[in-house]
Structure 1
């Protein structure tokens, strides 16, 4: 049995060449207007802006983009790299994609990246100077919602998991034995079998404000990516980490998600376990005093994330770098 909860938009546009072309033209138009109007232009690098694995974009679109980037001082905001993903998961990447990404990075005067590992990748593969690479550490989330200061642990314990449902993998089976706990899954995608009784589907909520308000009634946010996806997470985290934090949820993650685990430990905003089979033991150990002690750290970090602290700090450093040129 297959459950398909993809959005109608995703089903309609997935793989559509016309949609890709129109999106590229729209992005180029916006970039041209920005380069004409402003001295400094901040460009978020995502696959919705430019996808180097697409041969057309890698050979044609990148030339137009880099030409426009030369008209202004450009700061590239990089929170994902399709080439890096390809190298991590497949061990190699198409030459046209590597060359296209190299052109894009080479046209920027400053590049904002997650962490040191991402920095080293761009420096070693593309020869970008280290002083052009600025770390922003984690993604900000500009929501208005503020979670309550104190919270009583619920019964059963409610654990939120958000993302592409096809990445749930064996998680439903792993949590099936949990006593006094339920997993609330939010997102889109296909699951290969009906969800277990201990797993409730919360729906697809596209509005971030609505999502954080909805999941704030739970107790924990779970970052679980599966073994394959975790290998990429030495280079950064996902928006899910920030979504959980601004919702007031302490985070539980597995140690193989290296960078998210590092963030959890650095800010003391949750717990790191070796694997999801340890989830039951962890939940039994956490009492309300311990929970609210950690949650106070969550609330402190959430204030920074809602104010855009990490982006603004990296941006200021990037602008200083650009202004010296």
Structure 2
């Protein structure tokens, strides 16, 4: 394959090495699955290497080689306050003159910043950057109808510009299926950022009794074991280790943060999370609040978990499930997790965007 041929499909993204946690795994997954579709990944520069980033310099010198540009947003052209956002937008505008621009929008960074109280990183230019970026795109790949509508509120784009991808893929090898007996105590896993600032008082509302055990995986969770003898902090594990470990230990994976934060609840209308996908690949049916509208919707659609109104209801909900009902959920979860681990949703959506 010639160098010219190699540059016909490019992926503009961020480096996995400068990401942490779920963001790092998402960065790896986008690169991996895009590469399987023939895309050459080009990482965004950092402020320190902006003038020595060889791959991006090639684009400015030989831009006509590129026929399709896939942009992983918001890894690339993040609209928050940073000096590189103008350079990255300029590059995409230049490429749009002869390259088909496809945006893969796996998050809405403005809404995300507002939901967690980080408005300080957003300014009026952030909205302008995002509008200009969206207008450059020939196709915009989004989670769902509500994410599409949110973008259209700002950009006035037609429906035919959008493609739905539905679920965030998670490229970790899936453990072998484990037919787990459904007897108390029921084991519930929670994986993610465990800092007090992040989770707030969410765990204090979980029912504590002899019929449920909780297992917490992630950074900064040493404090959790002090809340109850039924709360066990397992530590942090790499995603490759985490999936088989959760599969062996737990019956369910919990999705929960501060349900009293209306901005965070609103944010969950626009997409799913890597946490949901990690549980699916691990073979764990999910426990999700009804107020997390979109995740609850896909949980119901695929039959891969239980939806609750309040964390306090979890014990009665879990104990109402029969052995056969749980086995069906676990099989459904394993089947969906297999697709997620293989990049099914990403590849399907990007291929459709290329062909349409």
SS in 2 for 1:97: helix
- In structure 2, distance between residues paired with 1:28 and 1:68: 17
**Which residue pairs with 1:205 in the alignment?**
237
Contact 2:202–2:257 (CA under 8 A) maintained in structure 1 = no
Q: In the alignment, what sits opposite 2:138? A: 109
Question: Residues 121-270 of structure 1 correspond to what in structure 2 (within 5 A)?
Answer: 121-148=150-177, 150-153=179-182, 155-166=184-195, 167-175=198-206, 177-189=208-220, 194-206=226-238, 208-217=239-248, 218-227=250-259, 228=261, 229-270=264-305
| TM-score of the pair, normalised by structure 1 | 0.82
Between 1:52-61 and 1:19-28, the stretch displaced more is 19-28
Contact 1:222–1:252 under 8 Å retained in 2: yes
**What is the CA distance between 1:73 and its match in structure 2?**
1.6
Q: What TM-score, normalized to structure 2? A: 0.76
In 2 relative to 1, CA 9–131 (structure 1 residues): closer, same or farther, beyond 3 Å? closer
Question: Would the aligned equivalents of 1:53 and 1:97 in 2 still touch at CA under 8 Å?
Answer: yes
Q: Would the alpha carbon gap of residues 307 and 257 (structure 1) be closer, same or farther in structure 2, given more than 3 Å must change?
A: same
Residues 1:44 and 1:283: Cα distance change in structure 2 (over 3 Å): same
Is this contact kept in 2: 1:179–1:280, CA < 8 A? no
- RMSD value over aligned CA atoms? 3.0
Q: Distance in 1 between matches of 2:111 and 2:345?
A: 23
| Distance apart, 1:61 and its partner CA | 3.8
Tell me if structure 2 keeps the 8 A contact 1:186–1:201.
yes
Give the CA deviation at 1:245. 0.8
Q: CA deviation at 1:42?
A: 1.7
For structure 1, the 5+ residue unaligned runs are: 1-7, 11-18
1:314 aligns with 2:349: yes
Superposition deviation, residue 82 in structure 1:
1.3
Structure 1 contact 224–253 (Cα < 8 Å) conserved? yes
Distance 1:144 1:190, change over 3 A: closer
Secondary structure (helix, strand or coil) at the match of 1:231 reads helix
* CA distance in 2: counterparts of 1:316 and 1:26, whole angstroms: 32
Please report how far the alpha carbon of residue 85 of structure 1 lies from its aligned counterpart in structure 2 after TM superposition. Answer: 2.9
After alignment, is 267-276 or 78-87 more displaced? Answer: 78-87
Is the contact made by 1:70 and 1:107 (CA closer than 8 Å) also made in structure 2?
A: no
Q: Secondary structure, in 3 states, of the residue corresponding to 1:145?
A: coil
CA gap 1:318/1:276 in 2 versus in 1, 3 angstroms: same
Q: Deviations over 1:57-97 (max 9, x none)?
A: 34444323433454522211101111233566679862100
Q: CA deviation at 1:291?
A: 0.8
Aligned to 1:3: none
Q: Pairwise mapping of residues 78-117 of structure 1 onto structure 2 (< 5 A)?
A: 78-86=105-113, 94-117=123-146
Residues 147, 247 of structure 1: 8 Å contact kept:
no
Q: Structure 2 stretches of 5 or more lacking a match? A: 1-17, 21-44
Alpha-carbon distance between aligned partners in 1 of 2:118 and 2:235, rounded to the nearest angstrom: 35
Pick from 249, 269, 282 the counterpart of residue 317 of structure 2. Answer: 282
